[in-house]
Structure 1
Amino acid sequence: MKKKVYEKELVRLQGELVKLQEWVRVEGARVVVVFEGRDAAGKGGVIKRVREYLNPRIARVVALPAPSDRERTKWYFQRYVEHLPAAGEIVLFDRSWYNRAGVERVMNFCTREEYIRFYRECPIFERLLVDDGILLRKYWFSVSDEEQERRFRSRLEDPMRRWKLSPMDVESINRWEDYSRAKDDMMMHTDIPEAPWNVVESDDKRSARINMIAHLLSTLPYTEVAQSSIELPPRPAAEGYERPPRDMQAYVPDHASTLG
């Protein structure tokens, strides 16, 4: 996708996301968006563009670390329930409860009985969310093995992005087919009418971002909310305030002035 076309459409879609945010706030809606997919499939980049102009008090990202020893003893979905939205909120799950069907299954972090139970409980859990009025949308980002490896190598060579390449990412190369089988099983058990999976082809990052955001907006019943008019008042006349001497405070050094 050409850069100019991409940037123009992205700005338009981000304007629509701001309208969506205001509708969510005013109507007290609850929106959950699940981002899943292959490592290096571009989930983080899409989430960044979705959030760019949104109020972080309304739209927040949930990216949970590995569960603690205590959390492992809880009902599996329990720690995710704590992060579900209240009225007027949007929650973007950067990976989600589907960890159990993906990395936990493939890397043997859970037992066969645990992921089989997940397949049985997950549709029930998601139907409960939808029945309670939560607007749940699920996206799977698909990337080819060649493009995934290219992105891994790019991260490896870039000191600013190397932190994004974890040992788990490297292992995903060796277990490509295991992840494919796990994804197929997951889709078979959890692609339900109330909360279907939406697959995003993401070898082209720009197209993937545009396609995902456009699809999300098309599935939500938002309308533009009329904004109340705001007028800046005239600045009042000075009444004798005197600023303390500058040397009484510590200022950040002017590093910018040393640059060419």
Structure 2
Amino acid sequence: MPMAAIREISLLKQLENTEHPNIVKLLDVHHQAVSDRDICLSLVFEFIDQDLNSYLERCPPPGLGPDRIRDLMIQMVNGIYFLHSNRIVHRDLKPQNILITGEGILKLADFGLARIYASDMQLTSVVVTLWYRAPEVLLTGQYATAVDMWSCGCIFAELYNRKPLFKGNSEGDQLKKIFDVIGLPDLSEWPEAAVLLWGSFRPTLPPPINHFVTEIDNQAKDLLEKLLIFNPERRISAREALHHGYFRDDLDSIRTSSSLSTSENDSLSDSRSDTPVSN
């Protein structure tokens, strides 16, 4: 049985009692022996007929309106915060792993790469599709829940542009495209264990982020910039993002429709959830 399948089942079983509105529901696990040595395993999920990638492709010009983008974003950050509060890093957030129901509800899916983390664990660097991969993963440095927030920032930009913000064809090219947008960080922020040297990249003074993401308002721009911070320790957390001014009064409606705000989950501080671990 593939380890990814076992991992996905165990994580979704762990979360099934919460029935969070922004996490896909696992309804049943069916197994059938097809031979003396082989088992056919089927996971039965709630039916959702489109992912965010196809949703954006079907969206007619000029694209999503600002209110719809904000609604999708708060649902995505809400789901990420719930995972992080339960000590789970998704590690593979991309439009193909985000589902949209006919009623417009966003649900995070595909937990084959997700891991429950601890302070002494080692995580592999082969995570997250290249275009949504955080710099610390590309450089094989330290990382934890902040990798999901970077991916969230990439998807945020894509909601406006309807195309990936960083479309690299290799890890080095991906980093170059990232630095063209956010600028090359100071040498002091470069991970000591990085597989590429800081001097491998040309220092750049990046243009304003709205040069790459047009029609973005000031509050959205500020949140996007905080999601796309190179240093994972300074990158905004899911909890902080939910309280960002971009969402204004939307947080109250999320709390009333979500099981996120339990005393147990709220007792988990961001400093604990976002503690980096060595790769």
Which TM bucket (shorter chain)?
Answer: under 0.3
Which structure has the larger Rg? 1
Question: Is the helix fraction higher in 1 or 2?
Answer: 1
TM-score scaled by structure 2?
0.23
**Structure possessing the higher relative contact order (Cα contacts under 8 Å, 6 or more residues apart):** 1
Task: Name the TM-score, length of structure 1 as normaliser.
Answer: 0.24
